[in-house]
Chain A
Amino acid sequence: MKKIFIILCLLFLTGCGQKEYSTQYFDIFDTYTTLQLYCNSQSEFDQISDGLHDEMLRLHRLFDIYNTYDEANIKTVNDNAGIAPVKVEEDLYNIVKEGVAAYDKTDGYINIAMGSVLNIWHNYRERALDDPENAAIPTVEELKAAAEHTDIDNIVLNDKDMTIFIKDKDASIDLGAIAKGYAADKARKYLNERGITAGLLNLGGNVIGLTDSRKPCWKIGVQKPEEGSTEFVYKMDIENQSAVSSGNYQRFYIYNGSIYHHIIDKDTLMPADKNKSVTIVSESSLEGDIYSTYLFILPCEQGRKIAKEKGFKAVWVDNEDRIITEE
């Protein structure tokens, strides 16, 4: 009898311990977000995931360039360009500071002060998606005129008062290239502080994989970046790391049979055309965000040197559909 009891206990042992719970969000950073966490119970998961969702919503509002909320956000700063400095919350101040630092790290290719140019592309894209028959692209004159107002020095930061001021009234800040990376790093910190050691957050392409002995790695597939793509070009494991992709397949419209996507090269003011996608595996998702965009714009050979220097794992799909990796 005792034996049977012990054997039964052993059988049930496998069912013990933490379980994986999951949920998803549609309302943060204009992207589809999925969250999987190893927790002790549904109620623990609900508590942690609800808290994380609130935190992500708060950052979403702060970094939103299109809508105004109760608290001062990046739109407030943009609306006050050429008028007055705006006192902002710590996270907004910090991300703008990170954005300004990214400009120096990337030879100006990541420029959060490029809102004027990006806004033109945004408007053309919106109109094209609404009415594909009448899709159009901006004129060179239009883009060049806007590019007059993209000097990074237009952004004036005051550490003491935590204010942000844009000197040029026609300039604006766009955090699109770094917002999700910043938020993903915040999410990781949030989860760590609550004792979560295994989980996966996919914030619309910014992936954070937390791993421990129960979940030693998360498997990430990199898809073939073209319409109707049906293959993974690459599979990799991440362990307590971030993986981020920048690609021409994420946000785009078609004009005259060509893809016009959302990553704009400052040299041409047109969508970058050297690669189809670049994926970066790094510790920090903010860095992954910055460098996946930067290396997407650069020719692959140049980018490989940078990836090597930074110690990132990187995967390119170039314009000829070649897969190039740097580890």
Chain B
Amino acid sequence: MDKNVFFRNKDIIMIGIIIMIAIVLYFGIKPFIKEGEKAEILLDGKVIKTLDLSRDASYSPEGMEVVFEVKDGKARFVSSDCPDKICVNTGFIDKKGQTAVCLPNRLVLRIAGGDTDAVL
């Protein structure tokens, strides 16, 4: 065997094994990572609450006159003390990447994940 060959057979086997392990780990763990779809509530860009879309719930951030709800796999602003009510008017959202926003309260309701970068 040529001593100058950089990768010897056993190296290639080793690299192959490492890649195999990586692939197995990736696909083996993936199904367990994927949980139910979630709605995130952000205040000033930071997630303050995550709601599972598979469970009906309502939530009101502490000290704020704003109510969120999850119902039948969808999420929405139920009410808000803001003047424009654009957030409430947005209605239910459930598609990944969709948002409903309350500017005066700096709150964003967002469906987590998805493959779109922006929703128009």
A residues with CB within 8 A of B:
3, 7, 23-24, 26-27, 30-32, 34, 36, 126, 129-130, 200, 202, 205, 207, 209, 218-223, 227-232, 235, 243-245, 251-253, 279
Asked if B40 lies at the interface with its beta carbon under 8 angstroms from chain A, I say: no
Collect the chain A residues with CB atoms within 8 Å of residue B31's CB: none
17 residue pairs of the A-B complex, CB under 8 angstroms, read: A3-B6, A7-B15, A23-B45, A32-B99, A36-B117, A126-B83, A126-B84, A207-B120, A219-B116, A221-B119, A221-B120, A223-B95, A227-B90, A229-B93, A230-B74, A230-B93, A252-B89
Closest 9 pairs between A and B when the two form their complex, measured CB to CB: A221-B116, A227-B91, A245-B120, A32-B101, A228-B91, A228-B92, A218-B117, A129-B85, A202-B118
The answer to whether B117 touches A209 (Cβ under 8 A) is yes
Encode B47-84 as 1/0 by CB contact (under 8 A) with A. Answer: 00000000000000000000000000010100000011
B residues with CB within 8 A of A:
6-7, 11, 15, 44-45, 74, 76, 83-86, 89-95, 97-99, 101, 103, 106, 108, 114-120
Collect the chain B residues with CB atoms within 8 Å of residue A229's CB: 91, 93
The answer to whether A218 touches B86 (Cβ under 8 A) is no
Identify A24's interface contact among B45, B76, B86, B94, CB under 8 A: B45
Collect the chain A residues with CB atoms within 8 Å of residue B7's CB: 3
Collect the chain B residues with CB atoms within 8 Å of residue A245's CB: 120
Collect the chain A residues with CB atoms within 8 Å of residue B6's CB: 3
A288, chain B: closest CB distance, angstroms? 11
The answer to whether B116 touches A235 (Cβ under 8 A) is yes
Interchain CA distance A279-B118 in the complex, whole Å: 13
Task: Determine the main DSSP class of B at the interface with A.
Answer: loop
Identify A200's interface contact among B86, B91, B95, B118, CB under 8 A: B118
Most buried by B among A36, A200, A218, A223: A223
The answer to whether A221 touches B95 (Cβ under 8 A) is yes
Contact status of A130 and B83, CB under 8 A, knowing A23-B45, A223-B95, A229-B91: yes
Which residue on A lies nearest to B7, using beta carbons?
A: A3
The answer to whether A231 touches B108 (Cβ under 8 A) is no
The answer to whether B120 touches A205 (Cβ under 8 A) is yes
The answer to whether B95 touches A218 (Cβ under 8 A) is no
The answer to whether A32 touches B103 (Cβ under 8 A) is yes
A317, chain B: closest CB distance, angstroms? 11
A66, chain B: closest CB distance, angstroms? 12
The answer to whether A243 touches B120 (Cβ under 8 A) is yes
Collect the chain A residues with CB atoms within 8 Å of residue B118's CB: 34, 200, 202, 207, 209, 218-221, 243
Known: A24-B45, A209-B117, A219-B115. 14 other contacts (CB 8 A): A3-B7, A32-B101, A32-B103, A218-B117, A219-B116, A220-B118, A221-B97, A221-B118, A221-B119, A221-B120, A227-B91, A228-B76, A230-B94, A245-B120
Which residue on B lies nearest to A221, using beta carbons?
A: B116
Which residue on B lies nearest to A231, using beta carbons?
A: B95
